[in-house]
Structure 1
Amino acid sequence: MSTITEHRAVLPGGLTLPYAETGQPGGTPVVLVHGYADSWWTFEPVLRHLPASVHAYAPTQRGHGDADKPQGGYLPEDFADDLAAFLDAAGIERAVLVGGSSGGIAARILAGRAPHRVAGLVLLGVPAALAGKPGVLEIWDRVNKLDDPVDPAFAEEFNRGLTAEPVPPGFLRTVTEESLKAPARVWRETMRGLLDTDLRATLYGILVPTLVIWGDRDRIVPRSDQQTIVDAIFGAELLVYEGVGHVPYWERPEWVARDLTEFVGRFG
């Protein structure tokens, strides 16, 4: 089991992002990018299962968790800009990017526009697009009505709905507490940005090796979305986890760690 240390990265302009780090320096760096209303803690189970040979970083994005919470900057391209700035701040020239859920949008934007910074791309339950999906629109209707403080019952219900099977109660409590650190405006503006952006356009122009991982009991992202991604990214591979929901890194962190380690091993 790997040891996790916590640090803080200061980006240009002073924006500060906390991040977790594990593994030994020297190998191909891996940067894990969390999704909506989340924080680096979402990847804690995966980080614990990674071998020391994988040098992993997991930053918390602006507005989320214990990161700084500026008034604006919550479009997908803003998160991609922050991701590029994080690589600079952490001294990472080139990394494998691992995006969980909507975190994969920022990861693939950066992979498309700066392939020299991205050795490979792993997408975990990442949508091809969100606009028009009935379940997403139902969530948006509730998010759009949120006030501060965000209702803990809503945050817990939201997180419970991401999995096909229950996760350990302590972990669910942790990710729910992390979700509650995001103010209502961050919940709203981040989702508004995902709905208003042409997410399909962010799939094109990606030339780096890509692994797509999807749980076949995902109630948010259908398999057709994964096929859209695989068809759009040349050479992309699809790996299906049976019996798993939207966040495979919560439900089967050991599988994700295994497959991520194998993928990273291709880069020597």
Structure 2
Amino acid sequence: MALLHADSVTLNQTFHYENTTHSYDIKWCSLGDSSNPPVVFIHGTPWSSQVWSPFALALSRHFHVYLFDNPGFGESPMEREIHINSFHPSDKVSELDSDLARQSEVFAALFKTWEQDWDGRKPHVIAHDHAGLMSLRAYLLHGCIYASLCLIDVVAIGPFGQDLFKTVAENPEHFQRLPDMAFEGILESYIRNAAFKDIPGDVMQMLKAPWLKEGGKAGFTRQLCQANSRSTEEVEGRYEEVGRQIPVKIIWGAQDNWIPVEDATRLGKALHAEEVVQIEGAGHLVMYDQPAQLGVELGSWLNTFTR
């Protein structure tokens, strides 16, 4: 696993989607033989699909693997407001809010275009961080049906919030006016706090890069604003339905500083999960802290459905 951080995947497809308020262009790709069982990876915040690249490349030997960047993350640009039917936010936080409800809607639309190539097969979905809530919303509210669901250190069950989220949400315009050097320092500190082990320099640069380009500071600010308020109300009371209909596995870094490991147990009970696994020596970025163990857990989980 020594080359884990060096692997990368090119998102060579674009999906366009519009609703009554916004327009989206999502970058995505698929790997492997299309006749193999489909697997969909969903990234969280403030990451991109690149956190899944090594696992996607490895699994593409036996699965048809899908990767994509959420709106405003990685290679996918931020959504554009449609002025014909203009959306008027009530305050600056709402204007910046990346809104997980909207992100879930876009994922569901993308998912349904992929369904056309699956010949009735259902995909295995692997989700990290706020992708947990996205995948659950897509399943419960948008009719996206999975073969199984694996949730890794996910946002899905309240309460939420960190001091940084609250501070930025109170004064987002001040955060955006930070000098570039100060912003990069906060960004790097924020990312380091997500890992239990030291992050190699090239991995840190890859994780920072989308937020250091033009418009990145505003994009990073909006995802912090969203992190202070999650879109769980419509679905959290329905989690039991998911576990009764499909197999669910939960994986958690035992030293997660962002979402306490106790949430894994709470979520496991709410979802009636078949497995709840804690990985020692791993924080929120378990894919970098313990890549070998995570790879084994993912492989053993998916293997149960291909025997």
C-alpha separation in 1, matches of 2:58 and 2:292: 6
Q: Name the residue aligned to 1:162.
A: 194
Q: Contact 1:54/1:261 (CA < 8 Å) preserved in 2?
A: no
Larger Cα Rg: Structure 1 or Structure 2?
A: 2
The answer on 1:113 being equivalent to 2:141 is: yes
C-alpha separation in 2, matches of 1:30 and 1:117: 13
> How much has 1:187 moved relative to structure 2?
3.0
C-alpha separation in 1, matches of 2:65 and 2:73: 20
C-alpha separation in 1, matches of 2:229 and 2:284: 22
What do the CA deviations read for 1:83-114 (whole angstroms, capped 9, x no partner)?
11112333455321111111211012112235
Alignment of 1:1-268 (within 5 A): 4-13=9-18, 15-50=24-59, 52-71=61-80, 74-90=98-114, 91=116, 93=118, 94-114=122-142, 117-129=145-157, 131-133=159-161, 136-142=162-168, 144=172, 145-147=174-176, 151-181=183-213, 183-199=216-232, 202-203=235-236, 204=239, 205-206=241-242, 207-268=245-306
C-alpha separation in 1, matches of 2:117 and 2:101: 20
Q: Contact 1:9/1:86 (CA < 8 Å) preserved in 2?
A: no
**What runs of 5+ residues in structure 2 fail to find an aligned partner?**
82-96
> How much has 1:54 moved relative to structure 2?
2.2
Aligned length: 266
SS at match of 1:97: strand
Q: Contact 2:132/2:156 (CA < 8 Å) preserved in 1?
A: no
TM-score, scaled to structure 2: 0.76
C-alpha separation in 2, matches of 1:103 and 1:164: 21
C-alpha separation in 2, matches of 1:188 and 1:256: 30
Q: What RMSD over aligned residues (CA atoms) do the two structures have, in Å? A: 2.7
Q: Name the residue aligned to 2:91.
A: none
> How much has 1:60 moved relative to structure 2?
0.2
